[in-house]
């Protein structure tokens, strides 16, 4: 049996919910298909100590503000998952789960969405599948020779899993710094390897300030003024309290990137070696877009060329929440609302619905 609907939103994390919120306000019929058994998207899979880098009041989706978490200026991942659960219920968003979308195909005037729970036929699709599900590990020589454990950020949970072990953390971004800062104070024998010396943002810059910087950049570009450089020009690592504490205690000393793995550890270009029981690759993610492969839209770096959120090669497809290439700060809680609204408006126009009110 095929379910017919105006819009299918693939993915029920924060980006998919924000899209649903705005589609609902515009009176567009839709279904959200989410592969997870429970609400919360990637937030349910994060490591135990992960906290937001912004206070709750600056981490809200459109409509309902995120409530503060008792005793925590920066809420933890569980709190975010609970907020998303409540958000979904409060707005009665039609999320179907667990439903995994395997393929989206053109089907004359419609798009066919094939899932492990039947087929959906839609006039437009919003893809909001995130990046957590497609971890990236660089091709460093010797990876297959290493006899210890290799994990990615997505596999890491807590220091106790590495008690008594020698651990190499790879990566100078937020995940690498936070996981290194989680392990080092727990007495783990840690080597932190980064491609270039870590660039900590000033201590008073948290997600709030980053969002302001991203907004200023967007406004400058929209007004035709010079590029302000955005967030990346400031640094790579937000000095969240645990990172700051570990850094100030002298526990976060980065080494240059090693050149290869050996059977029992890692080796630098000058022949220096460090033995290791585990290597944790905190080396980033790619957009989870495999379900869109049949549309033949893929461009450089695994991305699909977009104009705003709309796929250049398929106007019935919008991509939401993957990074700045799908809207400034769109991969954050506070930032996804605006591109979600823009995508919903474009879809409403495509379907011949005029927005219910200009300010939605
Ligand atoms: P996800 O949360 O990954 O949701 C996507 C959903 O789509 C999932 O439920 C997934 O199962 C589903 N899905 C995937 N493929 C399919 C498919 N084929 N069919 C059906 N369903 C599918 N942002 C902030 O605002 N503040 C922070 O402090 C912050 N900290 C972060 C820390 C880390 C370590 C990381 C990795 C990210 C952080 N982010 C932060 C960024 C961002 O908010 C999160 O990554 C967020 O989870 C992205 O939401 P999303 O909805 O785009 O994707």
Q: Which DSSP letter does residue 119 get?
A: E
Task: Choose among 64, 41, 56: nearest CA to 331.
Answer: 41
Tokens 């969240």 belong to which residue? 240
Whether the bond into 98 is cis, omega within 30 of 0: yes
Higher pLDDT, 358 or 232: 232
**Signed CA dihedral, 230, 282, 190, 256: sign only:** negative
Alpha helices in 61-145 (DSSP H): 77-90
Mutation probe of ligand 1 site: the residue of 12, 38, 42 with most atoms within 8 A of C-beta = 42
How far apart are the CA of 268 and the centre of ligand 1, in A?
Answer: 34
Q: What fold does the segment set 2-133+285-350 form as a domain?
A: FAD/NAD(P)-binding domain (3.50.50)
CATH 3.50.50.60 residue ranges of the chain are 2-133+285-350, 149-200+236-281
pLDDT, mean of residues 41-65: 96
pLDDT, mean of residues 68-84: 96
Mean pLDDT of the chain: 93
Residues 278, 149 contacting (CB under 8 angstroms): yes
**Signed CA dihedral, 6, 12, 15, 20: sign only:** positive
Instruction: Determine the pLDDT at residue 220.
Output: 78
- Report which ligand 1 atom has the smallest distance to the Cα of 322: 52
Instruction: Determine the pLDDT at residue 1.
Output: 83
Mutation probe of ligand 1 site: the residue of 8, 10, 13, 334 with most atoms within 8 A of C-beta = 13
Q: What are the strands of the beta sheet with 273-275, ordered from one edge? A: 260-262, 265-267, 273-275
* CATH architecture designation of domain 149-200+236-281: 3-Layer(bba) Sandwich (3.50)
Question: What pLDDT digit, counting tens, does each position of 330-342 carry?
Answer: 999 999 999 999 9
Instruction: Determine the pLDDT at residue 203.
Output: 86
> In this model, does residue 232 exceed pLDDT 70?
no
Mutation probe of ligand 1 site: the residue of 8, 9, 35, 243 with most atoms within 8 A of C-beta = 35
pLDDT, mean of residues 314-342: 95
Instruction: Determine the pLDDT at residue 209.
Output: 73
Residues 6+ apart with CB under 8 A from 222: none
What is the biggest distance separating any 2 CA atoms in the chain, rounded to whole angstroms? 66
pLDDT, mean of residues 85-100: 98
How far apart are the CA of 343 and the centre of ligand 1, in A?
Answer: 18
> In this model, does residue 360 exceed pLDDT 60?
no
Sorting pLDDT into bands at 50, 70 and 90, what band is 308? very high
Q: Which DSSP letter does residue 201 get?
A: P
pLDDT, mean of residues 229-235: 69
Query: In this predicted structure, which of 176-180, 265-269, 291-295, 350-354 has the lowest mean pLDDT?
Result: 350-354
Query: In this predicted structure, which of 100-114, 217-231, 250-264, 265-279 has the lowest mean pLDDT?
Result: 217-231
Instruction: Determine the pLDDT at residue 357.
Output: 46
Please tell me the distance from the alpha carbon of residue 31 to that of residue 3, in angstroms, as a whole number.
10
> In this model, does residue 105 exceed pLDDT 60?
yes
Question: What pLDDT digit, counting tens, does each position of 2-35 carry?
Answer: 999 999 999 999 999 999 999 999 999 999 999 9
> In this model, does residue 355 exceed pLDDT 70?
no
Question: What pLDDT digit, counting tens, does each position of 120-149 carry?
Answer: 999 999 999 999 999 999 999 999 999 999
Question: What pLDDT digit, counting tens, does each position of 247-303 carry?
Answer: 999 999 999 999 999 999 999 999 999 999 999 999 999 999 999 999 999 888 889
């Amino acid at each position: 049996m095929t379910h017919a609907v105006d819009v299918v939103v693939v993915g029920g994390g924060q980006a998919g919910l924000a899209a649903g919120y705005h589609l609902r306000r515009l009176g567009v019929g839709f279904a959200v298909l989410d592969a997870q058994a429970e609400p919360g998207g990637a937030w349910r899979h994060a490591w135990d100590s992960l906290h937001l880098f912004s206070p709750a009041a600056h981490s809200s989706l459109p409509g309902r503000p995120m409530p503060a978490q008792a005793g925590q200026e920066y809420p933890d991942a569980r709190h975010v998952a609970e907020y998303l659960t409540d958000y979904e219920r409060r707005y009665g968003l039609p999320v179907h789960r667990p439903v995994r979308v395997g393929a989206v195909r053109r089907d004359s005037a419609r798009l066919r969405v094939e899932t492990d729970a039947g087929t959906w036929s839609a006039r437009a699709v919003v893809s909001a599948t995130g990046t957590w599900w497609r971890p990236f590990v660089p091709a460093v020589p010797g990876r297959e020779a290493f006899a210890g454990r290799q994990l990615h950020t997505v596999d890491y949970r807590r220091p106790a899993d590495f008690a008594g072990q020698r651990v190499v953390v790879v990566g100078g971004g937020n995940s690498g710094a936070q996981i290194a800062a989680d392990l080092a104070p727990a007495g783990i024998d840690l080597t932190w390897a980064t491609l270039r010396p870590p660039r900590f943002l000033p201590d008073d810059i948290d997600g709030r300030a980053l969002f302001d910087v991203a907004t200023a950049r967007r406004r400058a570009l929209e007004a035709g003024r010079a590029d302000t450089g955005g967030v990346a020009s400031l640094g790579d690592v937000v000095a969240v309290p645990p990172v700051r504490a570990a850094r100030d205690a002298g526990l976060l000393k980065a080494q240059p990137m090693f050149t290869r793995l050996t059977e029992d550890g890692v080796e630098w270009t000058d022949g220096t070696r460090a033995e290791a029981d585990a290597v944790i690759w905190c080396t980033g993610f790619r957009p989870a877009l495999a379900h869109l492969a049949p549309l033949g839209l893929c461009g450089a770096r695994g991305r699909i060329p977009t104009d705003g959120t709309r796929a250049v090669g398929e106007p019935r497809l919008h991509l939401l929440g993957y990074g700045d290439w799908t809207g400034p700060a769109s991969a954050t809680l506070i930032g996804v609302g605006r591109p979600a609204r823009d995508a919903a408006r474009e879809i409403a126009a495509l379907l011949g619905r005029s927005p219910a009110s200009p300010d939605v």
